[in-house]
Structure 1
Amino acid sequence: MLVLPGGDERRGYDGDNFLLHADDLDGMRPTDLRAALKRAMDGDDVTVNITLDDRLDEDLSIAEPVALSYAHGQLLVTLCFSTDHHDVEEERIAELLGSVLRPYLQRNRSTLAGVELDPFDPSIWNITLACSTRGRDAAEMFRVGEGALALLVAYDTGKPSRETTLDLLRSGNAHVLIGQEEGPWLDVKADHYNLQTPHGKISIAQAVSRFANAENGGIVVVGIRGKKVPGGEIISSICPVPVDGRTLRQYQDAIEKYLYPPPDFLDIEAVPVNGGSLIVLHVPAQPEELKPFLVHGAIVDGRVEGAFISIVRRRGESSIPITAPAVHATLAAGRALLRRGELPKD
């Protein structure tokens, strides 16, 4: 019987594992859970399955493919990953997993601890992650496992989300995106913006502002070619661009000079790929009180109009201008709050 840390709740053992609800993990220190498992199992290894079902029923609740396990005195995260690749050698699997997961795991203070093939079904890979427990609860360890599994599924199926797209780019696996559609959160460009000219500087500022003004942010990638197809545009090839010690600074300077206000937590990085690099600009969702983001200058019929201010945002695969009525409504609302002495909370 497992007595949960911080209370008198107990969970039964069915001969193979315990079952906890994901809510049980909130605020639970990994060291306390590890100690409770050690006491319950007298030091023997055990798996703790996790369910998201509304009601916890040890007979009926469906366990998630991400679990926690106690093994060799450690609290680990385990993933059950099902793939269509049946004929991959175990050594190659470890190499593949390391390539795909390494950047994600590094950012989440975790490492790949091991991988084993299911002895009865080689399409099932049992993966173990070791997570630093410092400053995190058991729920965060579980979320690290969820993110790793989502990234593997995206790699395997070629259908990434925005978050897994960012991880695929950072891990050097941008080729997984080939054939995918550009969407409301992804914009690709084959060549560098010409940051020696006002045209290029305004263009990159507008590209970032489109996502800064959008509801959920987005990703701009330089070094990926798109192809127009009926109904939109798809990613057709990876074409890395040259990068030197000044490149990222030039992108940063152009955005700082031509975009106001500066977007919160804008991330610009170069990812090495096939002898070149991809420039990845990640624009997180921005606070509403910062919008609209304004670009100093506009491009009208191919010409730079430096005295203009342009405001654009992303809708689907297209960019649309923010209208004068929308800007006026935003300014009027702000003035009304000031008049009443109300200011947005930080």
Structure 2
Amino acid sequence: MSVDVPLGELLRYSNLRARVKFHQLGLSDPGGIGDFVDGSVSGGDVRLLELEDVSFFSLARHFAVEFERSSRREVVFLVVHFENGRRHEDIELLFERDGTVLVSFTLDGGNPRGLEHAREHAEETFVSAGAVVRWLEHCPADEEVDQDYWSVGLSVTDLKVTVGALCAAVKALRPVLCTFRGESGPDRRGEFKRRVLEGRFAEILGTAESDWLECKAKLQIGGPDGNDKLTKAVCGLANGHRAGLLVVGLKTVPVDGRDVVAEVTPVLARAHTAERYWKIVDDHVEPVVRGLEIDVVPVNGGVLVVLSVPAQPEHTKPFVVTKNGGTLLFQRRGDHTVQLTSAEVRTLLAQGWGR
């Protein structure tokens, strides 16, 4: 359903579709959008499918009219339901009279052991969705709850982002929080970087490339092929949903269908300087990648080069590679960096890029 439909009508339609889905699943009817607690609270359940391209600014502006009409109204809430693979997820959006927009949700599963960097990962995940983490708490199973879960609270700081962009960040957060296991979890970007910078290379062997890690055994820096590979990787990570690393000087080999780090292959120190990398990225990647860091790590007469790309706000995207008067767009997806088609770019723009 198009967002050109008046927002009030769109919300009512989405609520109806959510109630139909509840019925199909054999769940109790959550009811229509209405008033609660003597009219001080209003809201209801909706589906992401209808609200994916709706910005928080549009919702806040719509609900501001409700606040003007009723002096008693203090809060409007929406429970947004969506599918995450085979899982059903939902998040609660709270719109307050003073314009504050808050978000809360839970993620079942996870293991707190070795998760000292969990909040850091969560904060980086939501940067691109225009939100900051208010709380992040791991709650163990007890007599009433049969499995561990995470409780997460956010504050939306960039109203230009869409509901879809926020839900995409929630989807990205689940594997970060709920698949860590001890000290060797599959998404340990911060710990991986520290181990490389500290020369603890034996501890990174076997790590699989992923949506946050890309490795290059060598790079002909300064030449067309090397420059293309460098800018493609940086652009792809900047257009992704989370912070990522590009490490030059690590060889990967295929294992069970995934490329994993197998060997440290230092590159020439005189050719691979931070200054050369900065110049190539600055000259060919637009706009400027916020917070980009480039570290050069001496090892065995050569160096490794580590490029850290923080998660970028949605309104700064898309990042492009400029070449021969034209532009190319890339995005990191899983363990590959892909070139985006025109149709994909239009979809991402509709979901919040550039707003």
TM-score, normalised to structure 1's length?
0.49
Structure with larger Rg: 1
Greater RCO structure (CA 8 Å; 6+ sep):
2
